Structures are given as structure tokens and as C-alpha cells.
């Protein structure tokens, strides 16, 4: 898969194109990408995804608003698109200046002149451009002006769920990992670097890896204890993760993620690992004593082992 961000570096050739942030690359997104690739193969042309970095919400965020929380970093999006088999991804550097570009100028300058748009695939409710003026009426007009085929993809449904990034974020913040997985088509994951903590876990016999996310905008699921899994040095390891402020021992200013792996006590400092969230175990709580805390950890561990042994993953 070719990745470019400068329109001058794009080799212009007939292409099937889709546009979007694709945060999470969930099942709804995958239906659009599948339609894109099918159209490209049928026409014998290139499949191209146009996406944006930073995420537009980060650039356009108004003051005094809560931090933007995203399901995927640009690196994760690119990796997922490569797995799907997209030929090229154009990562447009999103700026306030770019946000002022009209839909017509964007289509002409980027899609038609730079890429070679022949077939445009968009979601059922997709709009883009300054003031979201790239609506269905505008796209129909532009398709005639620049002679490309326009295809809208119907909303994707999995059971009673209609996958979208907002609903997935809501599910993760409500401890609903199964709902999030059903819409993502996979377990939610977070990539981060293992950093040094206060060493308390090792002192009490429960060593943990303190994981700092690779992006300040990456969404952490709601506070609580989770069954997680990681691939480390080619081996799969299960563990319990705690997200929160560790109220039994301290009152951190921000939520942290720490993982206790059941079958590993290796030095992971400075290593980058991927945490896959499998099951929600319980909410974070404050214990009155260390003994009560450790006793509860044993209960949590038994629940996790039961899930693993019986394949009861969300």
C-alpha cells in the first residue's frame, strides 16, 4: 500500500476514491472500503482512500470543550487499511486553512487533478468541505462537471446496531465491550509504551506494566478492571488491566492504564505493546485495606481465568 501526503507526489491515474476520517475503521467503514475495492477491481483502476491527519475535530475543537477522544491513531488506521488491501492512502494534512477549502475546490484540486478520480464512493450520510457543503446535491453536480461516477453506500447494520464512531465511543465509556466489538468487528485495542511507575505493584506481589498511550487523543475505556491480551515477543499473554486513578493507594490527577500479566514477569520498560480489551470485569473501587484489595484481585483473577478457559470473551 502506498501512503502519500503531498499531492505533488501522487502519480495521477484513473482511480476509485473514497473520503473520510475512518476513525476506528469499523464495520460501516469496511462496507464502504469493500465497495470501493470492488468498484476498482471491476473497472481495472486503482483504489484510493483520502483521509486526514490530524483528525479534523482536533484542529477545529472550540475552547473550553472536553478533550477529543478517538478510536484510532493515524498509524492504526493505515495498518487496518493495508490489511484490507487498499492500493493507496492519501493522508491530507488537516489545517484551519485546509478546512476553509470548498467542496468543489477539494474535489478538483485533490481528487480530480492530483489523483485521477473516476469513481467516487461515499457513505450514506457523508458530507465534506467548508461548512460541509459537499452534500449529495453538490456531489451530483460535481460528478457531472468533472465526469466521474458517484456511488453512495447504504448504512450498514449488524443486528439492531448501526456502526458509527460515536456509538462505539459511547459503548466503551459505558463498559460495553461486546457492543463495541460488534460494531468494530474486532476487540478494541490500544498501543502504548511501558513506562516506569511507582513500583508499588511489585512490592505487593502484583507487578504491573504501566502503559502510556501513543496518542493523547486515543480513547481509554471507562475506569475499571478488564481482561486483556497482548502479543509480546511472538507469544500471547493474558492479564488484568486497571484503568483509573488507583483510589486505594493514591489519587492520580489523570487516568492511568496498568496491566498485570498472569504468566509473565519480564522487564517491559520502554517496549511498545498492544493491549486488546476482551472483557469488562468490574468498576474501579477504593478498598479499605491492602488485604481487602489483594483478596479482591484473587477473585478478579479467577473470573478472568474462567473466561479464558471457557472462551467466554465478549
pLDDT tens across 132-142, in order? 767 888 899 99
Q: 78: helix, coil or strand? A: helix
- Say if CB 73 and CB 189 are below 8 A apart: no
Report whether 245 contacts 256 (CB < 8 A).
yes
Q: What is the pLDDT of residue 244?
A: 93
Residues of the chain with pLDDT under 50: none
How far apart, in whole angstroms, are the C-alpha atoms of residue 123 and residue 22? Answer: 11
Report all structural domains of the chain as residue ranges with CATH numbers, in order of start. 7-153 (3.40.50.620), 188-310 (2.40.30.30)
Query: How far apart (Å, rounded) are the C-alpha atoms in residues 176 and 62?
Result: 29
How high is the pLDDT of residue 248? 75
Between CA 211 and CA 192 the distance in angstroms is: 6
Set of cell numbers at residue 285? 473501587
pTM comes to 0.94
Q: Strand order of the sheet with strand 15-19?
A: 2-4, 88-93, 46-53, 15-19, 117-123, 149-153
- At 280 the three-state DSSP class reads strand
CA angle, 34 as apex, 23 and 129 as ends, to 5°?
50
Amino acid at each position: 500500500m502506498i501512503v502519500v501526503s503531498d499531492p505533488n507526489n501522487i502519480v495521477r491515474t484513473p482511480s476509485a476514491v473514497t473520503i473520510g476520517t475512518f476513525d476506528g475503521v469499523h464495520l460501516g467503514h469496511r462496507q464502504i472500503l469493500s465497495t470501493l475495492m470492488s468498484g476498482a477491481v471491476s473497472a481495472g483502476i486503482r483504489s484510493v482512500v483520502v483521509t486526514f491527519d490530524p483528525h479534523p475535530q482536533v484542529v477545529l475543537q472550540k475552547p473550553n470543550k472536553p478533550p477529543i477522544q478517538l478510536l484510532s491513531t493515524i498509524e492504526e488506521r493505515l495498518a487496518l487499511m493495508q490489511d484490507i488491501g487498499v492500493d493507496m492512502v492519501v493522508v491530507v494534512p488537516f489545517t484551519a486553512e485546509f478546512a476553509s477549502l470548498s467542496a468543489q475546490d477539494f474535489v478538483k484540486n485533490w481528487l480530480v487533478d492530483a489523483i485521477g478520480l473516476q469513481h467516487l464512493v461515499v457513505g450514506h450520510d457523508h458530507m465534506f468541505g467548508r461548512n460541509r457543503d459537499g452534500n449529495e446535491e453538490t456531489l451530483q453536480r460535481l460528478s457531472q462537471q468533472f465526469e466521474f461516477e458517484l456511488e453512495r453506500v447504504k448504512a450498514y447494520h449488524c443486528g439492531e446496531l448501526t456502526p458509527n464512531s460515536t456509538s462505539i465511543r459511547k459503548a466503551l465509556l459505558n463498559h460495553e465491550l461486546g457492543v463495541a466489538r460488534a460494531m468494530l468487528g474486532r476487540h478494541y485495542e490500544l498501543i502504548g509504551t511501558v513506562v516506569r511507575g511507582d513500583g508499588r505493584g511489585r512490592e505487593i506481589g502484583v507487578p504491573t506494566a504501566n502503559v502510556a498511550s501513543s496518542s493523547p487523543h486515543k480513547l481509554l475505556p471507562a475506569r475499571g478492571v478488564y481482561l486483556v491480551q497482548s502479543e509480546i515477543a511472538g507469544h500471547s499473554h493474558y492479564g488484568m488491566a486497571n484503568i483509573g486513578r488507583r483510589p486505594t493507594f493514591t489519587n492520580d490527577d489523570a487516568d492511568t492504564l496498568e496491566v498485570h500479566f498472569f504468566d509473565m514477569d519480564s522487564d517491559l520498560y520502554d517496549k511498545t505493546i498492544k493491549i486488546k480489551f476482551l472483557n469488562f470485569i468490574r468498576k474501579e473501587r477504593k478498598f479499605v485495606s491492602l488485604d481487602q484489595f489483594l483478596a479482591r484481585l484473587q477473585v478478579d483473577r479467577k473470573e478472568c481465568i474462567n473466561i479464558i478457559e471457557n472462551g467466554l470473551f465478549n
